[in-house]
Amino acid sequence: MREMDFVSFMEAPSQEMETTLFEKAMLGKWDEVVNICMENPMALVSSITRLQDTALHLAVSDGQEQTVRKLTQIISEQPNPEMVLGVANKRGNTPLHFAALMGNVAMCKCIAVVDCSLIALRNHEGETPLFMAVLFGKTEAFHCLVQMLTLDEVYSCSRRKNGDTILHIAISGDHFDLALQIIKLFGEVLVNAVNEEGIAPLHLLAEKSSAFPSGSRLGFLKRIIYHCIFVDEHKAVPHDYYDHQLPMQPIDQGGRPKYERNPNYPDNYRSTCINFFRLFWNFITFVLVAIGRKVGVHTDEENQRQAGNPEIFKATNEAAWYKIFKFANRMMLIVLGLGLPTIKKIYEEKQQHILSIQIMNELLKGVNMYEYYHAGTKPLHALDTQAGEVQDESNPYSSVFSGIGDFSEAENIEDVGGSSEIGRNLEGGGGQQNSRTRVVKKASLEDGKEMKAEMEKETAILIAARNGIAEMVEKILELLPVAIHDVNAENKNVVLVAVENRQPHIYQLLLRRNILIRDSVFRVVDNDGNSAFHLAAKLGAYKPWLIPGEALQMQWEMKWYEFVMDSIPSNFVPRYNKKGKSPEEVFIKTHKRLVRKGAEWLTSTSQSYSVVAALIATVAFATSTTVPGGVQETGTPTLGNKPAFHLFALSSLVALCFSVTALVMFLSILTSRHQERDFGKDLPRKLLIGLTSLFISIASVLVSFCSGHFFEVQNELRYVAYAVYAATCLPVTFFAVVQFPLYFDLIHATLTKVPRRSYKPTL
């Protein structure tokens, strides 16, 4: 109806005009589209696609900045231009929504400057253009739109229908840079916000295990590069890609921010030249200041103070060496240009880790202790608010403190933003209640148990423990020690969650906590009476041990079970659960299939390796009985005084001995029993000895072949022989290299007491 107010006095556009407009837009003839709209302004509100997009929608989505500027100019000359610019398509998106999700700052400015109220228009999902910019990680567009709003207006645009705020969506979309800036700009309000399901931003961050160092698994060389790369903490200031800059401080209530002019240099200089020269200038400044202090360029008061405190010179020297090392490291990376894809990916990963830790610290710093324990579990109780004041969807920020819970009748809650009339405890009964309170009370009366289970969500520490984020678990326990007693709907605390989800580093962290609370924490059982022993013995659908071969997976399971059993005194926990099952019985029952698969894998593997070991033993035996060059009449070898002969004799003997040893080990695996505990040490040790002997025998056979053959070509083709030997050894070397991952996994699994979680490669 809004566009009808604009064109009610005009003739409706013909079908022919709409078809022409669509064809010109599809062919990219935007000048003709502009001419049509100038001749007949009604064409500006004509829907020319199946999704009811207008010509301005198509121009924005095609990135036609000049066309958008011309069409906006035409619209601004018409009466009520905001109505035309606010025309939405079938999904409720306006042209400004399109410009925001594309991240085009110029088009966002061009449209929003006509009327700032366009930024508050919502699509059918309740998303504003500001929300769309954050949803697609368009930092520049976000700051462009924010500069046109007051704090109240920003909050009114920051939430959609399901209660997600711009901070929720920035974290869930891995836009950590933007998330940190949102936290810095808007203080604690969005930090404590929850959606309809009771999920706070901290809960979403706790699901991002790969965003933290504890969730990343790099190889040996990549780990060295990771620790050699310096990444500074991110400063929460907006990107200076456009001609304004938001203040670092939170925006004052009701006030619009003032902006400063951006430095004049191209964007591509930011990550190379500018950063390099800034770092170089900071380094030179620091060295000059340090030298000035060393030669006495300071006041008498400073001299007296430093003379009595020699630690100042020590700290200065350490800081100077750190600066020098950091400068050399950064210069090396700049010379490399971070151009090597691997180095660049490692740098980006470490940058993400630094950002996620910063966001975690800010969220935990701003979170209210009371809200931490209720967000994600049930609605907050008894808050001092003004009775009778009900807010609409456009002003949702008071729900930050209303703790929107996870309600079974969420579809009946029209006011997703929350109501300020909470005033009383939900269980308190009396007094006036709002619609949300009545929904909760009705649902609890109908099915109290179901409502309780639905509303009891996991707290942040339980989510972090389940996903193996040691940094968050440790930080929460540091700030809120009582969080160690949090439980979920199944009555599982952080210990049980870590054990059930096979998180060794989380479990070890908890073992190092204060011994005074250790008894009560480790004695907890879940609703089924399962203790930590039972959960360690249970094989669930989630298997974090990404190791080749079911036998090695079974070995990890056995090691994890034994580690948990050995870490807690047996008298700490009940022996039987509510079903009367002991941990041993649970382990045997749940691992039957894995034991069978592991036995089959060991059998097939041992059979294959036995064939290879037998072949090598045959060749080694024949080689060891052969004497290169023959023997003299006295029975001594003709070439016995040659170094190569001694190498040949020794290597052939080593090959024979180790090939026979490998064959015996593989045969012993075939004849061994395959019970649960056998997979812990006995079977893996035999497999490790067999593989080690097999690799040594392969290498010895190659050495004996090359040394024996060397006698025949040492004069004519001496230097060519080396290339021939290398080509001959190549196929066997490939076999050994292919088997090395399994071999190293086996070594690590056999020699390590505590199993380590394995992850798929992140790079």
Rounded distance, CA 12 to CA 47, Å? 12
pLDDT class for 526, splitting at 50, 70, 90? very high
pLDDT digits (tens, 9 = 90+) for 225-266: 777 777 777 665 544 433 444 343 444 444 444 444 344 444
Average pLDDT taken over every residue of the chain: 75
Tell me the β-bridge partners of 390.
Answer: 419
Q: Name the β-bridge partners of 419.
A: 390
Give me 137's structure tokens: 């990680």
Residue range 597-638, pLDDT digits in tens? 999 999 999 999 999 999 999 988 887 767 665 555 665 666
Cα dihedral 286, 291, 294, 299 sign: negative
pLDDT-derived band at 321, boundaries 50, 70, 90:
low
Query: Do residues 533 and 498 lie in contact, with contact meaning Cβ atoms separated by under 8 Å?
Result: no
HSE of 431, CA atoms in CB hemisphere, 13 A:
15
Which amino acid makes up residue 27? L
Question: How far apart (Å, rounded) are the C-alpha atoms in residues 391 and 449?
Answer: 31
Residue 402 has a pLDDT of 36
pLDDT value at 77 more than 80:
yes
- Strands (DSSP E) contained in 622-741 are none
pLDDT band for position 551 (cuts 50, 70, 90): confident
Radius of gyration (C-alpha) of the chain in whole angstroms? 35
**For the chain, what is the largest distance between any 2 Cα atoms, rounded to a whole number of angstroms?**
125
Residue 380 structure tokens = 């907050």
When pLDDT is cut at 50, 70 and 90, the band that residue 748 belongs to is confident
The per-residue DSSP string of 63-112 comes to T-HHHHHHHHHHHHTSSSHHHHHT---TTS--HHHHHHHHT-HHHHHHHH
328 compared with 426, residue with greater pLDDT? 328
C-alpha span between 84 and 34 (Å, rounded) = 15
Predicted TM-score (pTM) of the model is 0.74
Q: Would you say residue 7 has pLDDT above 80? A: no
- Rounded alpha-carbon distances, angstroms, from residue 119 to 87, 335, 556, 736: 13, 44, 55, 63
Is the CB of residue 195 less than 8 Å from the CB of residue 158?
A: no
Q: What percent of the chain has pLDDT over 90?
A: 33
Task: List, in sequence order, every residue forming a beta bridge with 159; answer none if it has no partner.
Answer: 165
Among residues 27, 56, 52, which one has the least CA distance to residue 41? Answer: 56
CB 229 within 8 A of CB 329: yes
pLDDT higher than 90, residue 125:
yes
CA 299 to chain centre: 51
How many C-alpha atoms does 299 have within 13 Å on its Cβ side?
A: 3
Q: How confident is the model at residue 641 (pLDDT cuts 50, 70, 90)?
A: low
